Amino acid sequence: MARKISMKQAINEALDLEMTRDPTVIVMGEDIVGGTGSPGEDDAWGGVLGVTKGLHAKHGDRLMDTPLSESAYIGAAIGAATCGLRPVAELMFIDFMGVCFDQIFNQAAKFRYMFGGKAETPVVIRAMVGAGFRAAAQHSQMLTPIFTHIPGVKVVCPSNAYDAKGLLIQSIRDNDPVIFCEHKNLYGLECDVPAESYAIPFGEANVLRDGDDVTIVSYGLTVHRAMEAAEALAKEKVEAEVIDLRTLSPIDWDTVIDSVERTGRLVVVDEAHPRCSIASDVAAFVGQNAFGALKAGVQMVTAPHVPVPFSPVLEDLYIPNAAAIADAARRTLAPTGTSPRSIAA
């Protein structure tokens, strides 16, 4: 039965259920148990934000703390995946992928193709994404587009607890490498989540709100900003359809195209930087495949082309907000010729 739990609890529950169901599921990462080898409490942390708290007591050595050594343990997770385990490796902050990227994009992503379809690499790499944590340039990035660029990995970024649980269970059961992006500012957000196991298929966007006037496409935290914008627009009698992509690779083009063909207007919201982003990807795809349906130029609302700043006043300006999204929607609705040039922030 369903009850309200946070996204953090939902992720913990998905790991717990899958470890219980399948003895080949192992979990590794820096401080995911916490305190290993230290004189104090065992299971001291359960991850830096406590996402894996309590799992060590239940599943023992199948949860492994690692040295601070991302290349080695992310590679080990990938190697173990080719040898019959289903490892879930926590990279902590996705920003750290810079030190282990080879193992993800040259190894895990390419085994199946390079080896002529004879390899399976069912590894999940969990990592926190996103700004708003006052964590500055190296702990706050939304690096999803870097992974969607690479054939052979799948990229998931849930916006709520229900999706996080179902998508993580699917990620663990999936036979391909999955980059599972968890927005740290959504960890505390609660919604109804069934206690049972369930898997949400990849490539199935969620339509959060119906509307015939403008389509707003997003994923992760900015889905909530898009919903706020849609409520503001509704007061102006503008009904926005809000689409949460949920998975970025594969991506549900059909739902986006169907919606744009009905509304004729598109705003894409992405917490990543504007260049070669999810936003520019969606804009390009719609431009190529639904140009005839468009009544106005596609608007992108993204973070600016700058690193994530530290000072709260600057960071708050950095993150796409509801007002900017609503303004972008209004630009698509302005009579032709009066629309101000979109500023790619």
- C-alpha distances in angstroms, 58 versus 97, 169, 250? 29, 18, 33
Which residue number, 127 or 178, has a Cβ lying nearer to other proteins?
A: 178
What does the radius of gyration of the chain's CA atoms come to, in whole angstroms?
20
Q: Which helix (H) or strand (E) holds 168?
A: helix 161-173
Candidate residues 60, 115, 138, 334; the one interacting with other proteins per rule CB under 8 A: 115
Contact letters (x/-) for other proteins, 245-274, by CB under 8 A?
Answer: -----x---xx--x----------------
Which residue number, 208 or 329, has a Cβ lying nearer to other proteins?
A: 208
Nearest to 90 by CA among 137, 143, 31: 31
Q: Is-contact 326 333, C-beta < 8 A? A: no
By the 10 Å C-beta count (0-12 exposed, 13-18 middle, 19+ buried), 203 is classed as: middle
Candidate residues 34, 47, 75, 145; the one interacting with other proteins per rule CB under 8 A: 75
Q: Residue 9 corresponds to which tokens in the numbers above?
A: 């609890």
Per DSSP, what are the bridge partners of residue 275? none
In DSSP notation, 290-344 reads: SGGG-SS--EEEE--SSPPPSSHHHHHHHS--HHHHHHHHHHHHSPTTTPPPPP-
Is position 152 an interface residue for other proteins (rule: CB under 8 A)? yes
Q: Is-contact 51 31, C-beta < 8 A? A: no
Is position 194 an interface residue for other proteins (rule: CB under 8 A)? yes
Is position 117 an interface residue for other proteins (rule: CB under 8 A)? yes
Is position 87 an interface residue for other proteins (rule: CB under 8 A)? yes
Catalytic residue, chosen from 59, 139, 183, 273, is 139
- Site residues for other proteins, 173-192, by CB under 8 A, read 174-176
Is position 340 an interface residue for other proteins (rule: CB under 8 A)? no
Which residue number, 174 or 182, has a Cβ lying nearer to other proteins?
A: 174
Residue whose entry in the numeric block shows the structure tokens 């006043």 = 313
Is 139 designated active site? yes
Which residue number, 13 or 315, has a Cβ lying nearer to other proteins?
A: 13
Interface residues with other proteins (CB under 8 A) are 1-2, 26, 62, 64, 66-67, 69, 71-85, 87, 102-103, 106-107, 111-120, 151-152, 154, 162, 166, 174-176, 194, 196-201, 203-204, 206-207, 210, 250, 254-255, 258
| Active centre residues (catalytic) | 139
